[in-house]
Structure 1
Amino acid sequence: MTPNRFVVVPAAYLYLLRDAPEGGTEVLLQRRGPGVPYMADHWAAAAAGHVERGETAFAAALREAHEELGLTDIDLEFVTTMHRTRGGEAIDERVDFFFTARAWVGEPAIQEPDKASELGWFDLESLPSPMVPHEAAALALLAVGDVPAYVAHGF
C-alpha cells in the first residue's frame, strides 16, 4: 500500500420516518447500549452498520433493518452520502450512506438488546440528547428538507 493512502470504512444508515399526529415528521431512533464501544448511550439511527465486503450500501441498509429491527420489504430512498473524519486518523476516514423509508413490513422492535437499549419516535425538529454528532448533522439537513447529495463532516 502506498504510504499516503488510507482505507475508507463504509456504513449504511436507515431512518424510518412517519407523519407525526400533531403534524411534521417523526424519526425512529435507537439509544445505543451502555456496553457498545462507540457512542454508548447516545441516540442514533434505529438501523445502521458497516457495509460488508461484496455488499452494496443499499443491501446493507436492508440487512441492518432486518437484523436490528426485524423489518422486511422496506421501501428505501437514498438521501445523501457523508464523507467524515474525526481527529485526522486514517482509520477514521468514513463514507456513510443515508437512507430513509416510510413503508415497511413488520413492527420495529429491538432485535439486538446487547447493542440497543431503547427505541423511540422523535420529531425531526426536536431530537433527543445526546445524539451521535454526525447523525445529528444528517438529521438536521433532513429536517430542513434540502439535503445535498454529498456532505463532508469533521474536516
Structure 2
Amino acid sequence: MTVDRFVVVPAAYVFLLRPGAAGDEVLLQLRGDVPYMAGHWAAAAAGHVERGETAYAAALREAREELGLTAVGLEFATTMQRHGSEQPIDQRVDFFFTARSWAGEPELREPEKAHDLGWFRLDALPEPLVPHEAAVLAGLREGGLAPYISFGF
C-alpha cells in the first residue's frame, strides 16, 4: 500500500511593534522581485527555519540578517498551520513572534529581496498585504490572537 505523505515547511516571522501617536505601529517590508508575493507588504523579518534550528533561533537570525538587529526581545504570538495552492501535498507551519525591544536601527540588509521598509499603524495597513500575514496582523490589532490558527483550509 502506498501512502502519500505531505511535506511541512516551517517558517518564522517577526513583527516589530512600537507605540505611535494613534496606536501601535508595525514595521513591514515591501517584497521585491522574489518568487512569492512580489510587490506585497510583509513582516520586516521572516524566513524558513533551517534544519536543526528552532523557530525562535530562526526569528532571531532573520532579524539580524534582514534588518541588522540584535538583542531582539521576542514574544510568541501564534502558530499558523496553512495550506497553499503551490503544491497539493505542501503544508506550512508558521511561527509568529512580536518584539517591542531590540538593539540597532532597522535597515534593509537584503535589497535584492525587499524594496522598502515602513512603519504602519495596525489600523491603517498598506495594500497589498501577504494574505496569511494580514490575518495575524488583524488578530494583533483586535487583541484576540489564539495560540494556534489555521489558514487556507
- Give me the TM-score of the superposition, normalised by structure 1: 0.95
Shift of 1:3: 2.5
Deviations 1:3-47 (A, max 9, x none): 221110000000000001x231000000000x2000001000000
| Structure 1 stretches of at least 4 aligned residues deviating more than 2 Å after TM superposition | none
1:32 equivalenced with 2:27 (yes/no): no
Shift of 1:139: 0.4
- Give me the TM-score of the superposition, normalised by structure 2: 0.96
Structure 2 distance, partners of 1:90, 1:12, is 21
Is residue 82–residue 150 contact of structure 2 (8 Å, CA) maintained in 1?
A: yes
Identity %: 66
Q: CA RMSD of the aligned region, Å? A: 1.0
1:16-95 alignment to 2 at 5 Å?
A: 16-20=16-20, 22-33=21-32, 35-87=33-85, 89-91=88-90, 93-95=91-93
AA of the residue aligned to 1:78: F
Unaligned 5+ runs, structure 2: none
Is residue 22–residue 121 contact of structure 2 (8 Å, CA) maintained in 1?
A: no
Unaligned 5+ runs, structure 1: none
How many pairs align? 151
Is residue 31–residue 39 contact of structure 2 (8 Å, CA) maintained in 1?
A: yes
Match of 1:7 in 2: 7
Q: Identify, as 1 or 2, the structure richer in strand.
A: 2
Shift of 1:100: 0.3
1:137 equivalenced with 2:135 (yes/no): yes
